[in-house]
Amino acid sequence: MDAAPPRLPLLGGWAVVGAVFAYFLYQNMPSWVVGDDYDFLDEFPVLWVAIAAVIGFAAVLSVSYWQWRRTEFRLGDDTVYLRQGIVTRQQRQARLDRLQAVDVVQPLLARVFGFAALSIQVAGGEDSSVELKFLRLGDAEALRNEILYLAAGLKRERQNQQDPQAPGEEGAHVAPASSLRDLRAHLGERAEALGRPEDILRGTETARTAIAAAVEREVYKVPTGRLVVSTLLSGPALLVIALPIVAGIAVLFFHLDIVEAVGAIVGTSLVAMLGALGALFSFFWTRLNGGFGFTAGISEDGLRLRHGLMETRRQTVPPGRVQAIRLHQPLLWRWTDWWRVTINVAGYGEDSESVSVLHPVATRQEALTAVWLVLPDLGDPDPHGTLGYAMHGTGDEGGFLTSPPAARRVDPWQWRFRGVRATERALLIRRGRWEKELFVVPHERTQSLGLSQGPILRALGLANVEVHSTSGPVTPIAAHLSQEDAFALLDAQAARARAGRRRQTPEQWMAAVGLDDAVVADA
Amino acid sequence: MTWYTNADAPWTHVSRRLITARLITLWIWMAPLVIAGLVITALSSEPWFLALTGAGLALGAWFSWIVVRQVTVHAWAEGEEDLLVRRGRMFRSVTVVPYGRMQYVDVKAGPLDRALGLATVQLHTASPGTDASIAGVPAEEAARLRDRLTTRGEARLAGL
């Protein structure tokens, strides 16, 4: 038993540091920025401010320490229990068979001290996740593995497993789990050894796990160079580059006084410009921070994504949890044929930049691989060819259903580029002439379907078909189909979704394997 | 070509009492405009303010016509596996919700709805895009519909 490290709650104390920093910044700013006539803050000497800051810091520290003390966590066979709160006590139970994803998140400061937060996503609307802040990194990973193990439906194996292998320290990434059965034995052993999770959160006991994680195979990794170039090839970056050029031309040709011009612009719209700069900066920052060192792998527990520069995030998305995929190619990425792949996972919600990315900048081959990661069987004899048509095709080549010529009136440029095609397992929706977009929705993940038509489309005999997915960055819609095609597609898609639901993989993904075993035994 | 009709199940139209309910709500909003025009005209003896009354009446009449058109087309159909909801004349839409995807059912009735014996039945799936609310279902029918939907949902329950 080792005592809980007291620096733990400090991880949330950034705000106070920021305030102090802001004060000193203010103090040392040249007077022309602030103005001379406003010296409210100058009346307070630095010493007093420092004392106030210390008191504030101590308050934040003690409150978060108290909060942390009042947080309890328990892992049942099929449920996660969380109890927290000082004034209002909150109890939360999350069913593990509804588990959608488990993330190990390390903000910068937590990383420095070797801590991590565990974020457990269960299906259930907004704000339904269970967040554990903060655990030792090793403990967080052990808990994640335990949760995934239980969620996979392996708990029955626990009692009757025979020869547990000797627990080894951190041997997991190279664990020679030659067969599934070996792996399960490992998992069972580990689960037995895990002990009481609430002690882990309290820091009074270290997780004594034998195995760190299911064996993982790396599938792709994003080179930093490509990430940077792709960010530079984005619209906002071009804006930043183009502005000085435009300004330069303006000065040269119209003989403007540059200082005067800049002064006028800054003077009139300083706030707006600062806002725009902030938005630009945050765009680049989230792109680079989120995509840095992006690695995707596949394991028994499903997809594993690792990424992040300052804040690192290790995501595990079990099989069958990806609801829809979007492949997007911005205009400037056409030269390099790069694609950005985003996914819908129930529970992740709208937070698309940091969590819902499957590949921040994929080559064409990697984009196909990314789709394959989610849908190993596209249900098509020639998946690469079909996806190729879906990414770059026009008209009805490759068996795509396209918009009729009447759509030209509302959609003059891309009507020939729109296309819909259903394979046996998924619906592909394509659009875009210059900026391209492709949606892939597995039939068994279709939540509901919509058909819609406004007055203009009605006059042209067109209609839209919408596939409703869980909340996220992917909203698949097949627009401007001919009315007959849209009706037929709606009926056919409802039937396909029905068939898809029948062969849907169980929520407990490893339980499917157990089922097969039983069938084999019966035969 | 006519609008979508499913082969699977017949459409059930919502109660025409929904027209009454919606018209009452509409005219509660429109009445102040009409009355304000009349009162100001009476007080200021400027006939121009009658335009306000006229506008209120015209808008109200137009919206009333829309309400009637909308309610008469609003319908649902209980298929073998899916619930279908149809709405709108100008902006037409059909939503197909599989029973197995249903997460929960809401039955709501405001004071006006209750006075007229109506209720709104809404199906929720895991998708925020699913817009499957049926307004103006007769109250007893709403309870039965909810029970039927729940039973079918349980029988065909699928994960996410």
The ipTM, to two decimals, is 0.90
Mean pLDDT of the region A335-351: 87
- A82 and A183 within one domain: yes
- A93 and A208 within one domain: yes
Final residue in a domain of this structure, among A242, A275, A290: A290
Indicate the pTM of the whole model.
0.80
What is the tens place of the pLDDT at every residue in A378-435?
A: 888 888 899 999 998 888 888 899 999 999 999 898 889 999 999 999 999 999 988 9
Q: Give the pairing type, strands A419-422 and A357-362.
A: unpaired
- Number of neighbouring beta carbons within 10 Å of residue A351: 10
- A146 and A116 within one domain: yes
Say if CB A205 and CB A196 are below 8 A apart. yes
Q: Is residue A3 part of a domain?
A: no
What is the tens place of the pLDDT at every residue in A456-506?
A: 999 999 999 999 998 888 999 999 999 999 999 999 999 999 998 887 766
Q: Is residue A183 part of a domain?
A: yes
Distant-in-sequence, close-in-space partners of A158: CB < 8 Å, separation ≥ 6: A188, A191, A192
Distance CA A370, CA A339 (A): 10
Distance in Å, alpha carbon of B149 to nearest chain A alpha carbon:
15
- A492 and A350 within one domain: yes
What is the tens place of the pLDDT at every residue in A182-195?
A: 544 554 554 454 54
- A494 and A345 within one domain: yes
Nearest residue on chain B to A460, alpha-carbon basis:
B1
The first and second tokens of residue A37, run together, are 């006539």
Q: Is residue A508 part of a domain?
A: no
- Yes or no, beta carbons of A487 and B4 under 8 Å apart: yes
- A236 and A147 within one domain: no
Nearest to A402 by CA among A461, A475, A479: A479
- Number of neighbouring beta carbons within 10 Å of residue A105: 22
Sequence-ordered alpha helix ranges (H) in A29-96 = 31-34, 46-69
- A194 and A96 within one domain: yes
Which among A451, A468, A506 has CB closest to B125? A468
Which of A96, A321, A468, A496 to mutate to test binding with chain B, by most B CBs within 10 Å of its CB? A468
Final residue in a domain of this structure, among A171, A202, A217: A217
Which among A445, A455, A491 has CB closest to B90? A455
Q: For a pLDDT cut of 90, what percent of chain B falls above it?
A: 61
Which among B98, B131, B159 has CB closest to A497? B98
Which among B92, B129, B160 has CB closest to A468? B129
Q: What element of type H or E holds A479?
A: strand A477-482
Q: Domain tally for chain A?
A: 4
**How many residues in chain A?**
523
Domain range for A343 is 323-502
pLDDT at A166 over 50: no
Sign of CA dihedral A159, A215, A286, A334: negative
Orientation angle between helical segments A137-151 and A180-193, nearest 10 degrees:
120
Q: Is A490 on the interface with B (CB under 8 A)?
A: yes
Match 């990383």 to its residue by tokens: A111
What is the tens place of the pLDDT at every residue in A21-73?
A: 666 666 665 555 555 555 555 566 677 878 888 888 888 888 888 887 888 88
Q: Report B:74-103 residues touching A (Cβ under 8 A).
A: 81-82, 90-98, 100-101
Q: Which amino acid is at A441?
A: V
Distant-in-sequence, close-in-space partners of B2: CB < 8 Å, separation ≥ 6: none
Q: Is residue A42 part of a domain?
A: yes
Q: Is residue A513 part of a domain?
A: no
- Yes or no, beta carbons of B91 and A454 under 8 Å apart: yes
Q: Is B126 on the interface with A (CB under 8 A)?
A: yes
- A498 and A367 within one domain: yes
- Yes or no, beta carbons of B90 and A490 under 8 Å apart: no
- Yes or no, beta carbons of A501 and B98 under 8 Å apart: yes
Distance CA A520, CA A26 (A): 74
Nearest to A144 by CA among A203, A205, A99: A99
Q: Point out which residues pair with A148 in neighbouring strands.
A: none
- Number of neighbouring beta carbons within 10 Å of residue A68: 19
- A261 and A134 within one domain: no
Q: Is B125 on the interface with A (CB under 8 A)?
A: yes
Between CA A31 and CA A35, with CA A32 as vertex, the angle to 5 degrees is 70
Distance in Å, alpha carbon of B137 to nearest chain A alpha carbon:
21
Q: Is residue A371 part of a domain?
A: yes
- A196 and A263 within one domain: no
- Yes or no, beta carbons of B160 and A484 under 8 Å apart: no
pLDDT band, very low/low/confident/very high, at B4 (cuts 50, 70, 90): confident
